Amino acid sequence: MESTQKSGSGSGRVTEPDATVPVAGARFLEGRTALVTGAASGIGRSCARVFAAAGATVYVVDRTGEAAKSVAEEIGGSAYVVDLADPDRVDTLPVDADIVINNAGLQHIAPIHEFPPERFALIQRVMVEAPFRILRRTLPHMYAQRWGRIVNISSVHGLRASAYKSAYVAAKHALEGLSKVAALEGAPHGVTSNCVNPGYVRTPLVEQQIATQARAHGVPPDEVIEKVMLERSALKRLIEPAEVAQAALWLCSPHTGYLTGASLPLDGGWTAG
Ligand code: NAD
What is the CA(37)–ligand 1 centre distance, in A?
A: 9
Residue 156: count of CB within 10 angstroms of its CB:
23
**Ligand 1: which of 41, 118, 202 to mutate, most ligand atoms within 8 Å of CB?**
41
Nearest CA to ligand 1 atom 24: 42
What is the CA(107)–ligand 1 centre distance, in A?
A: 8
Is 105 close to ligand 1, i.e. is its CB under 6 Å away? yes
What pLDDT is recorded for position 24? Answer: 62
Q: Specify if 23 maps to a domain.
A: no
Q: Where are the alpha helices (DSSP H) in the chain?
A: 42-53, 65-75, 87-90, 117-124, 130-145, 166-186, 204-217, 221-223, 241-250
Quick check: is 200 catalytic? no
Q: How deeply is 117 buried, as exposed, middle or buried, from its count of CB atoms within 10 A (0-12, 13-18, 19+)? A: exposed
User: Cα–Cα distance between 166 and 112 in angstroms, integer?
Assistant: 6
What pLDDT is recorded for position 5? Answer: 43
Q: Are residues 193 and 205 in the same domain?
A: no
What pLDDT is recorded for position 18? Answer: 63
Q: Specify if 211 maps to a domain.
A: yes
What pLDDT is recorded for position 9? Answer: 44
Q: Are residues 191 and 140 in the same domain?
A: yes
Q: Specify if 25 maps to a domain.
A: no
What pLDDT is recorded for position 1? Answer: 35
User: What tens digit of pLDDT does each residue of 16-68 get?
Assistant: 656 565 566 689 999 999 999 999 999 999 999 999 999 999 999 999 999 99
CATH code at position 159: 3.40.50.720
Residue 207: count of CB within 10 angstroms of its CB:
12
Distances from the Cα of 202 to the Cαs of 7, 45, 154, 208, 226, in angstroms? 38, 13, 16, 10, 13
| Number of domains within the chain | 2
Which positions ≥6 away from 154 have C-beta within 8 Å? 172, 175, 176, 179, 195, 196, 197, 263
Is 40 close to ligand 1, i.e. is its CB under 6 Å away? yes
Q: Are residues 165 and 104 in the same domain?
A: yes
What pLDDT is recorded for position 208? Answer: 80
Nearest CA to ligand 1 atom 32: 105
Where the chain has pLDDT below 50, the residues are 1-10
User: What tens digit of pLDDT does each residue of 116-125 get?
Assistant: 999 999 999 9
Annotated active-site residue in 59, 80, 143, 168? 168
- Show the domain range for 234: 201-238
Which residue in 137, 135, 147 sits closest to 12, CA to CA?
A: 147
**Ligand 1: which of 205, 209, 228 to mutate, most ligand atoms within 8 Å of CB?**
205
Is 106 close to ligand 1, i.e. is its CB under 6 Å away? yes
Q: Are residues 62 and 163 in the same domain?
A: yes
Q: Are strands 33-37 and 99-102 parallel, antiparallel or unpaired?
A: parallel
Residue 25: count of CB within 10 angstroms of its CB:
8
Q: Are residues 68 and 177 in the same domain?
A: yes
Nearest CA to ligand 1 atom 2: 205
Q: Specify if 7 maps to a domain.
A: no
Distances from the Cα of 24 to the Cαs of 1, 51, 122, 249, 254, in angstroms? 12, 13, 39, 11, 11
Residue 147: count of CB within 10 angstroms of its CB:
24
Q: Are residues 144 and 246 in the same domain?
A: yes
What pLDDT is recorded for position 7? Answer: 41
Is 205 close to ligand 1, i.e. is its CB under 6 Å away? yes
> Of ligand 1's atoms, which has the minimum distance to the CA of residue 41?
9
**Eight-state DSSP code of residue 201:** B
What pLDDT is recorded for position 11? Answer: 52
Q: Are residues 123 and 154 in the same domain?
A: yes
